Amino acid sequence: MNVGFSEADFSEVERRLRERHLPLAPDELRARVLGAAVAELEAERKVRRGSAWPYAAMAACLLLGLGLAQAAAITSLIPHSAGQPEKAFVSAAALRRLSPDLSEDDARQLSLFVSLPRTAVALPLPQSDPSPARGDFDIRSFVRGESK
């Protein structure tokens, strides 16, 4: 087949092609097409907005957890067992039952020492205090309300 025509050779065919019958766009098609496109845009925005909630909730939980952990850490620094001498005495009695050779004072000191938090640091008594001897530690000095 010869395809070496100039474009003018096809002008009649092209004219007839342009004028052939094709369906016209109905009036409502524009609204329908754009409505579908906008619905897609809106749906995507809603999904994006909705998908942010789990991350926000997770962040809130993390913050809450951090806050609680911090509060717990601060609380553990307080020597709360020192405020419960009666509990220490119960433990002292238990120690004396286990080891009858212990004096009442030793058992009491030991029970207080055991019940102190790990963060407590033993401090030497002031030198002006004549008893006990210089350089010795008296566990009662750490306990609130146990001053001599």
Binding site for other proteins (CB under 8 A): 1-3, 5, 9-10, 12-14, 16-18, 20-26, 29-30, 32-34, 36-38, 40-41, 44-45
What is the rounded CA–CA span in Å between residue 138 and residue 91? 18
Cα–Cα dist 81/76, whole Å: 10
- Give the nearest distance from C-beta 80 to other proteins in angstroms: 59
What is the chain's percent helix, strand, coil content, to nearest 5? Answer: 65, 0, 35
End-to-end C-alpha distance for the chain, whole angstroms: 122
Select 13 or 52, whichever has its Cβ closest to other proteins.
13
| Nearest distance from C-beta of residue 59 to other proteins, angstroms | 27
Measured from the CB atom, the residue of 44 and 136 that comes closer to other proteins is: 44
